[in-house]
Amino acid sequence: MSLSLLEGNEAIARGAVAAGCRFFAGYPITPATTIYNSMLNLLPPLGGIVLQGEDEIASIGFCLGASMAGFKVMTATSGPGISLFSEHISFAIGSEIPIVIVDVQRLGPSTGSATRGADGDINFIRWGNSGGLPVIALAPVDVKDCFTLTMHAFNLAEKLRCPVFIASNKEIGMIRESIDLDALEKPEIIDRSPAPAGKPHLPFQVTEGQSVPDFLPIGANVPVRQTSSTHSQNGYITTDHEEIAIILDRLKTKLESAIDQFSFYDLIKTEKAETLIITYGVTARAAKAAYKELKEQTHPVSVLILKTLWPVPETIIRQTAQSCKQVVVVEMNLGQYVKEIQRILPNMHIDFLGQMNGQLITPRQIMEKIANG
């Protein structure tokens, strides 16, 4: 076995390139800048395009334009930038434009602390769009996840034609870590489904059994329309409330009904454990360390590490929690995802451990929470 030393952010860039990403636009922001740097090293020699926008709004706007021309696109930022992305996140959702958006989270609110970690944008990622429709968000735990989940993110964005977020964290993105590159999981690459030739193209039409419209790029042989306005299947603005309802409902169900196909998680299961830790992101590493220490003691625990955060992978959460008496949700904010767990497990006793001070939650804190509730 040989090991390499890789930064989480660089692994995201390499995962993107492996997934077929050939367009990246970004704006410098700590702690996401090294994704931009890495893409600048990787893409131009491959014939790909890397642009620096005049701001984050422009960066993601470039990406949306290039995605509509058929490119697999990615942008990366942190809290202040994800805030500026908001209007374009809504555009990508409503107009079904595939894009991968990396949020290397830092301590907020606002400009906060550029070099301190946090998972404070988890709800912003889900709800920071006008219209409130669902998005997909994947959360890496380590450098290996940064690579593999980014590949999955592209596959999901292309297949479901939607924005897919990588909810990273300064404590993952800017950490260098040993990785066995030969053992990396590389999912098969999925491309957006092309519209069949020879048929008139309606850009938002779905046929029986389809939940995602076929794609033709702007620049195809026949004119292709894209619009951020409420549209009918022909891509023109419409006031037909029945058709509007059908399309908007489809935007919701195309993601929510497919969640079981992309519920990524790690489950460390201990037989007869009465306590289940539910966590995600860098905090999962502290939970794993706590699990190992507790294994040798009298209070064994199971750990569910969610790597798909949005839509909420409800099935796996319910199934796992079933046999437990105590659920402890641990996250690097003051209580965001725990609300989802409370919603899904209304009859369970749920303890919460959160922290927002720029420091990692430690295994000791988790063990104390388990002991004291």
Partner 1 sequence: MASLLNDQRPPVFCPGCSHERITHILDKVFQNMGLNGNQIVIVSDIGCSGLFDTFFHTHALHGLHGRALTYAAGLKMARPDLNVVVTMGDGGQGIGGAHLLAACRRNLDLTLLILNNFNFGMTGGQFSATTPQEAQIGSGFLNQLERPLDICQIARMAGAPYATRCSAFRKDLVKEIQRAIEFEGFSVIDIWGVCPGRFTKKNRLTPQLIDAALAKLSPQEGIVSENVRKEYGRHYRELAAGQKIAPTPLKIEAKFNPPQPNRQEVMLLGSAGQRIITAGEIVCLAGLSAGLHATQKNEYNITVLRGPSISELILSPEKIDFTGIKQPSVIVALAQEGVDRRRELFVNLDDDTIVLQINGVNIPPTKAFIHRVNLQTQGIRKSDWALASVAILAKLKRVISLEMLQSALEIKFKEKTLVDSLILVSEVKIN
Q: Tell which positions 256-285 bind partner 1, by CB under 8 A.
A: 282, 285
Residues 176-195 that bind partner 1 (CB under 8 A): 176-179, 181-182
Interaction of residue 85 with partner 1, rule CB under 8 A: no
User: What residues from 117 to 156 belong to the interface with partner 1 (CB under 8 A)?
Assistant: none
- Among the listed ranges 49-57, 152-160, 204-212, 243-251, the one in contact with partner 1 (CB under 8 A) is 49-57
- Per rule CB under 8 A, is residue 175 in the interface with partner 1? yes
Site for partner 1 in 12-41 (CB under 8 A): 14, 23, 25, 30, 41
Nearer to partner 1, 181 or 189 (CB): 181
Sign of the dihedral defined by the CA atoms of residues 146, 17, 159, 191, in that order: negative
To the nearest whole angstrom, how small is the minimum distance from the Cβ of residue 3 to partner 1? 5
Distance in Å, CB of 99 to partner 1, minimum: 11
Q: Which 204-243 positions form the footprint of partner 1 (CB under 8 A)?
A: 217-229, 235-237
CA distance 218 to 231: 17
Where in 323-362 is the site for partner 1 (CB under 8 A)?
A: 359-360, 362
CA distances 23 to 62, 73, 74, 261, 335, Å, are 9, 5, 7, 27, 35
Judged by CB, which is closer to partner 1: 66, or 338? Answer: 66
In the complex with partner 1, the residue whose CB is nearer, 111 or 210, is: 111
- Among 12, 16, 33, 71, contact with partner 1 (rule: CB under 8 A): 71
CA distance linking residue 38 with residue 9, whole number of Å: 8
- Give the residue with the Cβ less far from partner 1, 149 or 345: 149
Q: Cβ closer to partner 1: 247 or 345?
A: 247
Q: Which two tokens stand for residue 353?
A: 């451990």
Quote the distance between the C-alpha of residue 198 and its chain's center. 36
The phi and psi torsions of 107 (rounded to 5 degrees) equal -65, 125
Phi/psi of residue 220, each to 5°? Answer: -65, 175
String of DSSP letters for 244-299: HHHHHHHHHHHHHTTGGGG--EEEE--TT--EEEEEETTHHHHHHHHHHHHHTSS-
Q: Taking CB under 8 A as the rule, does residue 72 contact partner 1?
A: no
Q: Alpha-carbon dihedral of residues 34, 38, 39, 42, nearest 10 degrees? A: 180
Q: Of these, 98, 134, 281, 363, which contacts partner 1 (CB under 8 A)?
A: 363
Q: Which amino acid is at 237?
A: I
Out of 29, 33, 34, 62, name the contact with partner 1 by CB under 8 A.
Answer: 62
Nearer to partner 1, 196 or 219 (CB): 219
Query: Among candidates 149, 142, 194, 216, which has minimal Cα distance to 173?
Result: 142
Helix (H, G, I), strand (E, B) or coil at 111: coil
- Residue 281's closest CA among 136, 138, 139? 139
Scanning the structure block, which residue is given the tokens 């023109």? 236
Q: How many of the other CB atoms lie within 10 Å of CB of 356? A: 18
Residue 222 burial by Cβ neighbours in a 10 Å radius (0-12, 13-18, 19+):
exposed
Q: Is 303 or 350 the residue whose CB approaches partner 1 more closely? A: 303
Q: Does residue 244 belong to the site contacting partner 1 (CB under 8 A)?
A: no
With CB under 8 A as the contact rule, the residue among 28, 115, 131, 334 that binds partner 1 is: 115
Count of positions on this chain that bind partner 1 (CB under 8 A)? 77
Q: Which stretch binds partner 1 (CB under 8 A): 155-163, 246-254, 287-295, 318-326?
A: 287-295
Asked if 84 interacts with partner 1 (CB under 8 A), we say no
Comparing CB distances to partner 1, the nearer of 147 and 262 is: 147
